[in-house]
């Protein structure tokens, strides 16, 4: 996933969340960041200094594949969600276009995986990103890494393709901030 010639460096939006600020869930029912999903990842992503974010993911027994080990798809989802959160820093709505994950070492249940992600380049509607997951701390052994291509979309992407019941419920939320956030980042 090499950015094409002419791709630009990402620029942090002037109204981006401050470094260290918790980004919060964009939608309470999101499997990655929402609190309403009992078996979800419950990621809490924080803005970094540049066009980067960090998060921690506690691998619970409900996230296992092989006995006692995290499921690879769940690890990919954690990286995808973390990279999707980068849209908050550049103020664009994005969806995953392509995701490539490398599994470097097994991740045991009850491990806290330290995630970091950054935008590597922007070219038109394409946002190129990368992420890592480390065991034992932000500088710990590398367990998983990913690169992803996100595509900038408008809110109609969600309203045209989402299930009406959830769209109507989100649109009916009296809290204007929650209503807007439901459609602002990678689903």
Confirm if 81 and 75 have CB atoms less than 8 A apart: no
- Angle 120-132-1 from CA coordinates, rounded to 5°: 40
Q: How many CB atoms lie within 10 A of CB 96?
A: 16
Q: Mind telling me the catalytic residues? A: 80
Question: Around Cβ 128, how many Cβ atoms within 10 Å?
Answer: 22
8 A C-beta contact, residue 99 and residue 146: yes
């Amino acid at each position: 996933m090499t950015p094409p010639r002419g791709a630009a460096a990402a620029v942090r939006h002037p109204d981006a969340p401050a470094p260290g600020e918790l980004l919060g869930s964009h939608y309470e029912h999101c499997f990655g960041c929402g609190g309403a999903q009992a078996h979800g990842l419950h990621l809490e992503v924080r803005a970094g200094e540049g066009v980067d974010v960090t998060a921690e993911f506690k691998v619970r027994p409900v996230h296992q594949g092989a006995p006692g080990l995290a499921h690879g798809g769940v690890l990919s989802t954690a990286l995808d969600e973390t990279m999707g959160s980068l849209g908050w820093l550049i103020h664009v709505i994005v969806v995953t276009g392509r995701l490539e994950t490398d599994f470097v070492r097994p991740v045991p249940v009850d491990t806290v995986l330290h995630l970091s992600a950054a935008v590597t380049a922007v070219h038109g509607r394409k946002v190129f990103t990368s992420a890592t997951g480390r065991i034992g701390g932000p500088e710990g052994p590398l367990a998983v890494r990913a690169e992803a291509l996100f595509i900038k979309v408008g809110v109609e992407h969600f309203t045209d393709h989402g299930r009406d019941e959830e769209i109507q419920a989100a649109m009916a939320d009296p809290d204007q901030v929650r209503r807007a956030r439901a459609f602002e980042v990678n689903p």
